[in-house]
Amino acid sequence: MALHVKKGGTMPGTRRDRFHTAGVLGIPAGRDPRRFAIQAVVLALFPIFAMPSWSGCAGTSSARADLETARQNYLAGNYREALAEATKETDGATRQVEWWRLRLECEWTLGEYEASLETLDTAITRLNGDLRLRLRSHHMYKDVGKARASQTALEDIDRLVRRTPWRYSSAEDLVALGETALAMGGDARQVLEFFFDRAREREPDNLAAHLASGELALEKGDFAEAARVFEQAAEKFPDHPTILFGLARSHAESDWPRAQAQLQNVLEANPRHAGALLLLADRQIDAEQYASAETLLAEVLETNPRHPVAWAYRSVIAYLQGDFKNALQFQNQAGEPLPGDPQTWHILGRELSQHYRFAEGAEYQRRALKVDPMFLPAKLQLAQDLLRLGEETEGWQLANEVQNADGYNVLAFNLATLEETVSRFRTMQDGDFIVRMDAVEAERYGKAVLELLHRAKETLCPRYEVTLQEPVIVEIFPAQPDFAVRTFGMPGGEGFLAVCFGKVITANSPASQRSSPANWQATLWHEFCHVVTLDKTRNRMPRWLSEGISVYEERQAHLAWGQGMTPRYRQMILEGELTPVGKLSEAFLSPPSPVHLQFAYYQSSLVVEFIVQEYGQKSLLRTLMALGAGVPMNEALERHVAPLHVLEQDFEEFARLEAEALAPFADWSPPLQVEGQPLPDPEEWLPSHPRGVWGLSLQLQRLVEQENWEEALLVAEWLCDLVPPSARDAAIFQHTARVYQELDMPDAERHILEEWATADAAALPAYERLMQIAEEREDWEMASKNAERFLAVNPLAALPHRVLARASQELERPWQAISAHEALLTFEPADQAQVHFRLAELLHTRGTQADVAVLHQEAKRHLLLALEQAPRYQEALEMLLKIQTVSASEAEQNDLTPEETTDSEAQAPEASREEETHATP
């Protein structure tokens, strides 16, 4: 995963764009109205439902107080106490449904599923007309695998409402009716409007109405709307654990620190809250802190020893640690108590997919769909898994099925929209790669993408002893929201340049990063390295090692690629901010700032560099092979590198020495700032800090602004002596180059610009100025080199294509010149006629005896286009006449028309282009 955090940017989050990010909108067409009896009855009898409602707990004030005490015990996690009170009441003659519901929930929460079913049967017998009991029976019967009884419960609700609709006008009844309508396939928008919203209007303090609206938003993936609903509810129920848990889930995807704080509030209210404990365990698993996750799961199982989701998470942990025997045992324990609940298998598969085990995750989603073919979360997750595995036909089909079944599911809508976009891409493929990208972008740099990928394969596959069995799919998106949906399922993730799923790479094109461009060649090299290492480990490697190897291999490929030591990283290392190697995955999970996330990438690459330097490439390969066999990360390091405590200690020393070696004579300390006071003036600060980079940089900037070139020269050269190119800020390069230019020091200017271009993989101003200098000097090697550098960052600008076209022609590299001219034409330049003519010249002079006719025909086409632009273009007319004469002569010799001659020839062989090989800088 290539990361790019822009200056002043934020952590990846959610953005609203042309994709759904909020709101259950519109009404799906083509639904069978007979499936919505509940909805139809409610709409028909709405005047009855609009009548005033008298609801509440019947009985004496003492009875109500006893019930409230029992409820508070349940909410606080005192389930046994609450169950004892509820059992006492229900074993008597009470007909208060609230006691029965409380008893049911206590037994279910404690894992006493069989007893809860018996309680349910008794309750329905005594309280035959209660909708909430009937709805609960639907869910309970479904979970235990009694599908017919579950369906009968919905039919019973339908019958009760049709018979006596006036009995069901309370807010809680409206909520129950809405949930029933959803269970029967009702329209979410209408359910929200005619049930949940009406319930909240009727009883603003009704808890069930708020919960139902929030849960519906969460189910549809509309986290912003869910947060809004739960925040409103929290104003009325500030300490209610269920409301707090809804808030935490609403924020978990976009703001984990906030969600974590809300989860702590949940656990303060109820230390045994299973949902909160499971969500925390989920995050611990993501951070590879399996012992901490097991502790949390043990707390859940202490309350309910049969909790299916807790056992599913235990199975995931065992699987990720290579303990496949226990993984299977825990999986069986997860599926045993509630065989009709697909949620268990869905969660198990989803967690494996989050750890890049997409094939295994997909199998569990299929298992969930066997339990319930209409369980849309599993179908949608399966669609995503298949798309990430490159099985696109079935993946898109499943996504569309979910969209058709649920028109308000945000992720399904986004994927359906994305499929239309991807279908318009141009596809370029050979035996090794399938590249999809915008058609115009493909014309401009599509060939360069394939060439870069082949170079990466030729370099990295032998190094890691990998043979890829299938083509790698690369999709490049000109619009960042499209990339985000393809990659994450939702708009957002603005900080990410590209992501690799194994054999599928998704990437942002340069078109999406105009304000802060990155080197797309470095990005694709990084991602292809992921393809290699994920294949090597069968997708069984932690994120830190995968990212570390990719960043390390960027640096091996090119000095300016990847991340290097910076003044900020130096400071973080020397101030003790290194993460222990055994916990490096945590650094990626919830970094406090974008800089900390970037530092996690850099530190991971430094660990890889240390392992290769100290223990050799073979140690790294053996570690990867062990991971592929299912050995846990830290154990693999212990076996093939060094004991973990030794590795961590030695690496810390290695990193410290690397940090201290960065400009050792420079003073990197910032000035002390007194609170409420401005920073000191550089001229006042520098006498006591003559090597202070902060002060010298500001002084240089000030002198350049004042056009005091002589003094600026002294400061610039002093700065460059103190700070090596790899550690210089772009402003130092830019100001120094400007000083040299103003003082007419062309060699010095060229030297500083070359240092900048060598140190920075995205130094567009340096590349552009070097191209200008090269053209002035007619130094075509230099012009070609910097045009290619520019194109590695922004191939969507005309200038570098124009410079490369001229330089290649001057250097007699015709195939490179042809490609550059063809790309230049996509910009519709003002001198189109001249570009067409030059292209015709190049084509006319190329080709072997076998392909000369085809090339001449292509040259003729460009000459005609040139003449279309400039009818009196004399040179074009003369060349056209020459080609026509040659074609007529050849046709006469072969007794064919010129057109027949052209049609009979084969296409110009691409192999002839291989005579020109140029390394990309």
Q: What pLDDT was estimated at residue 590?
A: 77
- With CA atoms as reference, report the closest residue to 122 among 133, 109, 132: 133
Q: What pLDDT was estimated at residue 892?
A: 62
| The pLDDT of residue 715 is above 50 | yes
Q: What pLDDT was estimated at residue 676?
A: 72
Q: Which residue has the higher pLDDT, 153 or 514?
A: 153
- With CA atoms as reference, report the closest residue to 133 among 151, 164, 156: 156
Could you identify the residue written with the tokens 């292209």? 839
| The pLDDT of residue 909 is above 90 | no
Q: What pLDDT was estimated at residue 187?
A: 87
355-359, 549-553, 737-741: range with lowest mean pLDDT: 355-359
Q: What is the mean pLDDT of residues 891-909?
A: 49
Could you identify the residue written with the tokens 């046709």? 891
Q: What count of other Cβ atoms lies within 10 Å of the Cβ of residue 434?
A: 18
Give 504-513 pLDDT, tens digit per residue.
999 999 998 8
Give 283-309 pLDDT, tens digit per residue.
999 888 899 999 999 999 999 999 999
Q: What pLDDT was estimated at residue 18?
A: 35
Give 321-330 pLDDT, tens digit per residue.
889 999 999 9
Q: What pLDDT was estimated at residue 857?
A: 82
Write the CB contacts of 307 (distance below 8 Å, at least 6 apart in sequence): 111, 274, 300, 301
Listing DSSP states for 805-855 in one string gives: HHHHHHTT-HHHHHHHHHHHHTT--TTHHHHHHHHHHHHHT---TTTHHHH
Give 561-579 pLDDT, tens digit per residue.
999 999 999 999 999 999 9
Per-residue pLDDT band for 591 (boundaries 50, 70, 90) equals confident
Q: What pLDDT was estimated at residue 21?
A: 32
Write the CB contacts of 681 (distance below 8 Å, at least 6 apart in sequence): none
Q: Which residue has the higher pLDDT, 885 or 740?
A: 740
Sign of CA dihedral 458, 461, 464, 465: negative
Q: What pLDDT was estimated at residue 377?
A: 93
Distance, CA of 712 to CA of 700 (rounded, Å): 6
Q: What pLDDT was estimated at residue 3?
A: 54
Give 766-792 pLDDT, tens digit per residue.
999 999 999 999 999 999 999 999 999
Per-residue pLDDT band for 31 (boundaries 50, 70, 90) equals very low
Per-residue pLDDT band for 852 (boundaries 50, 70, 90) equals low
Q: Where are the beta strands (DSSP E) in 432-566?
A: 433-437, 472-477, 496-500, 504-508
Could you identify the residue written with the tokens 């394969």? 457
| The pLDDT of residue 905 is above 60 | no
Q: What is the mean pLDDT of residues 521-549?
A: 96
Q: What pLDDT was estimated at residue 889?
A: 64
Q: What pLDDT was estimated at residue 547?
A: 96
| Range of 54-68, 191-205, 742-756, 880-894 with top mean pLDDT | 742-756
Per-residue pLDDT band for 253 (boundaries 50, 70, 90) equals confident
Listing DSSP states for 594-612 in one string gives: HHHHHHHHHHHHHHHHHHH
Distance, CA of 871 to CA of 615 (rounded, Å): 70
Q: What pLDDT was estimated at residue 135?
A: 93
| The pLDDT of residue 336 is above 80 | yes
pTM exceeds 0.85 for this model: no
Give 421-441 pLDDT, tens digit per residue.
999 999 999 989 999 999 999
Q: What is the overall mean pLDDT for the chain?
A: 87
| The pLDDT of residue 15 is above 50 | no
How much is the CA Rg of the chain, to the nearest whole Å? 34
Give 653-677 pLDDT, tens digit per residue.
999 999 999 999 999 988 876 677 7
Q: Which residue has the higher pLDDT, 99 or 55?
A: 99
Do residues 174 and 202 make contact, with C-beta atoms less than 8 angstroms apart?
yes
Per-residue pLDDT band for 29 (boundaries 50, 70, 90) equals very low
Give 794-839 pLDDT, tens digit per residue.
999 999 999 999 999 999 999 899 999 999 999 998 898 999 999 8
Q: What is the mean pLDDT of residues 65-71?
A: 89
Q: What pLDDT was estimated at residue 353?
A: 93
In angstroms, the first-to-last Cα distance of the chain is 23
Per-residue pLDDT band for 1 (boundaries 50, 70, 90) equals low
- With CA atoms as reference, report the closest residue to 426 among 393, 394, 449, 453: 449
Look at strands 496-500 and 472-477 and give their pairing. Answer: unpaired
Per-residue pLDDT band for 9 (boundaries 50, 70, 90) equals very low
Look at strands 433-437 and 426-429 and give their pairing. Answer: antiparallel
Sign of CA dihedral 692, 694, 697, 699: negative
Element (H, E) at 626: helix 617-628
Q: What are the structure tokens assigned to 66, written together?
A: 């006893």
| The pLDDT of residue 92 is above 90 | no
Q: What pLDDT was estimated at residue 179?
A: 93
